A and B are shown apart, each in its own frame.
Chain A
Amino acid sequence: MSATSYAGALRLALDHALRDDDDVFIYGQDVAGSFGGAFKITKGLSDRYGDRVINAPISEDAIAGMAIGAAMEGMRPVIEFQFADFATIAFNQLVNHAGTTYWRTGKPCPLTARLPVGGTPGGGPFHSQMAEAWLGHHPGMVVFAPATVDDAYCMLRQAIASNDPVIFCEHKYLYEQVRDDSFNPDLASALPAGEAAIRRHGRDCTVVAWSAMLYDALRAADVLAREHGIEIEVIDLRCLRPLPRDGVLGSVSRTGRLVVASEDFPFGGVAAELLALVAQHGFGLLDAPPVRVSSLDTPIPFHPSLWAAHRPQAADIVAAVIQTVRF
């Protein structure tokens, strides 16, 4: 049996959610028919589930708005935005409407919005952005950002089962790059949503990452161990809103140092939130100032060589950890 890809796990999660619950349906641009979405995540599903896989006009506001209505009616819509960048059109519906519904009305709004996030070579300014900061800023929103095949499957099932609106950030670079030959949906288990995972143990410094940046952090860990004798603890945040505070503070209590590695822009992001968390609630745990590694503070460039310089790399994490450890 060939290894399951991150994309394959997402497809399987949708398949099983549609199979297990008639209230689940998929709505988005190009999701139905033989096309199966821009990244083929829904390919084949309309053959099996017919009218519960529905093509939408290019109307992100209407897609989100219709999902909110269906969720108010008790269904569990899963909407797909072709790129996270395009969900900006639906920003109002997501944060002002979906995010406020439970608090305003006492009635849940169980929708899942799938957002292909993150950079790939040649993606450019409008097909590469992360979405966690601007969507997660608002109360009532839940933001998942799985990095592994198991989490892709389990967290998408959790998102669809959740009664809150979930922004599901799936990284485009991971779709085919991350594979797991031991993945078995019957055996797959995820931590509860809202808890961070320790992907590598270490005593010298905590490195928090999520989504594709997890793999840069793990590569940095190899380099740091091999070339510098530094053992970092790599925390996969998984869920960005609510923030897994205990997992982060617990790790910092063991290492005394924190580096946050984020693919997002530096200003006002989840990395800043993590530094604020540790500064406010874990100041006494720290042996060195916490450091964040983010993208450069410009729009995301198109040319692959510019993009590679814009996006943080494992080497940037290595440098940040060394700076922190040598403080």
Chain B
Amino acid sequence: MQAATSMDSTVTDLGHELRRTHLRAMLNGRLLEERLRSLYRQGLIHGGVYLGFGQEAFSAAGGCCLQKGDVFAPLIRDMAGRLAFGETVEEVLRTYLGKRSGAMRGRDGNIHRGSLEQGILPMISHLGAMLPTAAGILLARRLRGASGSVGLAAIGDGAMACGATHEALNAVAVHRLPLVVMVANNGYSYSSPNSCAFACDDLVQRAEGYGIPGHHCDATDPKAALATMAGAITAARETGQAQLVVGKLLRLCGHGEHDDGAYMDAAQREAARDCLSFGPEQAVADGILAAGEWDQWRQVITTTIDTALATVEAEPDAEPAQEDWQAWSESWPGLEAAP
């Protein structure tokens, strides 16, 4: 069996630009989500808001290491990864504000947004279901003789317990499909701690059972997260083999904005490292970022969000009269007589 499990991947040669792109994507994600939190509290967002606070380093690492033409099935805390993979701030806001111009046209909301043209899968809530879907796209490409692209499917420690995830991990191993499954172990499946979710020491141990390489990292360390994801995605692309990556971190917010996370362990929360604080310190120390540059980025990104918000707010909302209320793509004879 081939099941090399690399523990605590060492930081390899990450390019200067990749490190900067990664950091910037982290900041993009955090600042846009802070704005979403504000809009939510103003009552301007329909439906729930789920934030990726604390997960930006891991998420952005996945998004940064993908290439155009790859497939990304994000989870609810992947704003940073989505932006890194090419989603625009306007596209995000259109969905959160229920605009007809958005990818989901008001038919589905917020974290469910996606664009098949961009390779971002619009998730259904049963997150494990997205793993075989990403794998199916890779299978289709192989059948058509198109190679070179990889899939990245993001789940949490919670989805590692569902049957769909197991079926998919086994299937991608059996069919040898280059799907990277990145598991953000953020400590909680909604309110339930890890002790309620799994009984093994580390979720990465499961890779050996599936016969695929496993990787794990401290995902609060941007450099380590980037190195680990870069290694896993490169391995998938070069070998065609699925990879399992487990990033350890702590969710720095409630499950959603409706949830204060009061059930979380206070000492654990107090001691948690925020990748958005550590990241720029680490980058300055490594000579990746100039002093003051982080604040300049912050200003530029904030202006970008302000501009995008002004544009999107002026766009028309979804409204019933504009809908065709048609669930089928074809005009079936039986539908024409429907009441």
**Residues in A lying within 8 Å of B, measured CB to CB:** 22-23, 25, 51-52, 54, 56-57, 59-75, 77, 89, 92-93, 96-97, 99-100, 102-109, 139-140, 142, 162-164, 192-195, 239, 241-246, 281
CB distance from B173 to the nearest CB of A (A): 9
Contact of A73 among B129, B137, B167 (CB under 8 A): B137
In the bound complex, residues from chain B placing their C-beta under 8 Å from that of A60 are 167
Asked whether A73 lies within 8 Å of B141 as measured between CB atoms, the reply is yes
Give the segment of B53-61, B104-112, B187-195, B294-302 that binds chain A.
Answer: B104-112
CB distance from A159 to the nearest CB of B (A): 12
With an 8 A cutoff between CB atoms, is B131 at the interface? yes
In the bound complex, residues from chain B placing their C-beta under 8 Å from that of A22 are 144
Give the segment of B83-91, B201-209, B328-336 that binds chain A.
Answer: B328-336
CB distance from A257 to the nearest CB of B (A): 21
Question: Assuming A56-B171, A57-B174, is B328 touching A142 (CB within 8 A)?
Answer: yes
CB distance from A71 to the nearest CB of B (A): 8
Contact of B164 among A25, A65, A74, A162 (CB under 8 A): A65
Q: How far is the CA of A70 from the CA of B133 in the complex (A)?
A: 8
Q: How far is the CA of A104 from the CA of B164 in the complex (A)?
A: 22
CB distance from B249 to the nearest CB of A (A): 27
Asked whether A99 lies within 8 Å of B327 as measured between CB atoms, the reply is yes
Q: How far is the CA of A256 from the CA of B338 in the complex (A)?
A: 21
Q: A57-B174, A239-B334 are in contact. List 11 more A-B contacts (CB 8 A).
A: A23-B144, A52-B143, A59-B168, A64-B132, A66-B132, A75-B140, A75-B144, A92-B164, A93-B132, A97-B124, A192-B333
With an 8 A cutoff between CB atoms, is B233 at the interface? no
Q: Which of B103, B133, B139 has the most CB of A within 10 A?
A: B133
Q: Which 8 A-B pairs have the closest CB atoms?
A: A69-B136, A65-B132, A242-B334, A66-B136, A194-B333, A59-B167, A139-B327, A62-B167
Across the interface, name the chain A residue whose C-beta is closest to B175.
Answer: A54
Asked whether A72 lies within 8 Å of B171 as measured between CB atoms, the reply is no
A-contacting residues, B154-173, CB 8 Å? 163-164, 167-168, 170-171
With an 8 A cutoff between CB atoms, is B66 at the interface? no
Asked whether B108 lies within 8 Å of A65 as measured between CB atoms, the reply is no
Across the interface, name the chain A residue whose C-beta is closest to B117.
Answer: A107
- On chain B, which size bracket covers the interface? 35 or more
Contact of B171 among A57, A74, A77 (CB under 8 A): A57
Between-chain CB contacts (< 8 Å), 6 pairs: A54-B139, A59-B168, A66-B171, A72-B116, A242-B333, A244-B333
With an 8 A cutoff between CB atoms, is B262 at the interface? no
Asked whether A243 lies within 8 Å of B334 as measured between CB atoms, the reply is yes
In the bound complex, residues from chain B placing their C-beta under 8 Å from that of A25 are 143
Tally the A-B contacts, defined by beta carbons under 8 Å: 163
Across the interface, name the chain B residue whose C-beta is closest to A240.
Answer: B334
In the bound complex, residues from chain B placing their C-beta under 8 Å from that of A242 are 328, 332-335, 338
Contact of A57 among B124, B125, B164, B167 (CB under 8 A): B167
Asked whether B168 lies within 8 Å of A104 as measured between CB atoms, the reply is no
Q: How far is the CA of A197 from the CA of B107 in the complex (A)?
A: 36
Asked whether A66 lies within 8 Å of B139 as measured between CB atoms, the reply is yes
Q: Which of B112, B121, B136 has the most CB of A within 10 A?
A: B136
Asked whether B136 lies within 8 Å of A68 as measured between CB atoms, the reply is yes
Q: How far is the CA of A139 from the CA of B133 in the complex (A)?
A: 20
With an 8 A cutoff between CB atoms, is B184 at the interface? no
Q: How far is the CA of A93 from the CA of B164 in the complex (A)?
A: 9
Question: Assuming A57-B174, A92-B126, A104-B107, is B137 touching A62 (CB within 8 A)?
Answer: no
With an 8 A cutoff between CB atoms, is B114 at the interface? yes
Asked whether B334 lies within 8 Å of A65 as measured between CB atoms, the reply is no
With an 8 A cutoff between CB atoms, is B339 at the interface? yes
Q: Which of A60, A73, A102, A164 has the most CB of B within 10 A?
A: A73
In the bound complex, residues from chain A placing their C-beta under 8 Å from that of B114 are 105
CB distance from B311 to the nearest CB of A (A): 22
Asked whether A62 lies within 8 Å of B139 as measured between CB atoms, the reply is no
In the bound complex, residues from chain A placing their C-beta under 8 Å from that of B105 are 106
In the bound complex, residues from chain A placing their C-beta under 8 Å from that of B134 are 69
Question: Assuming A69-B140, A281-B339, is B333 touching A62 (CB within 8 A)?
Answer: no
Q: How far is the CA of A93 from the CA of B140 in the complex (A)?
A: 18
Asked whether A61 lies within 8 Å of B132 as measured between CB atoms, the reply is yes
Asked whether A62 lies within 8 Å of B168 as measured between CB atoms, the reply is yes
Contact of A65 among B104, B131, B328 (CB under 8 A): B131
Question: Assuming A61-B129, A66-B139, A104-B122, is B164 touching A163 (CB within 8 A)?
Answer: no
CB distance from B103 to the nearest CB of A (A): 8
CB distance from A140 to the nearest CB of B (A): 4
Asked whether A62 lies within 8 Å of B334 as measured between CB atoms, the reply is no
In the bound complex, residues from chain A placing their C-beta under 8 Å from that of B137 are 69-70, 72-73
Contact of A61 among B139, B164, B337 (CB under 8 A): B164
With an 8 A cutoff between CB atoms, is B135 at the interface? yes
Asked whether B116 lies within 8 Å of A164 as measured between CB atoms, the reply is no
Across the interface, name the chain B residue whose C-beta is closest to A89.
Answer: B163
Asked whether A70 lies within 8 Å of B139 as measured between CB atoms, the reply is yes
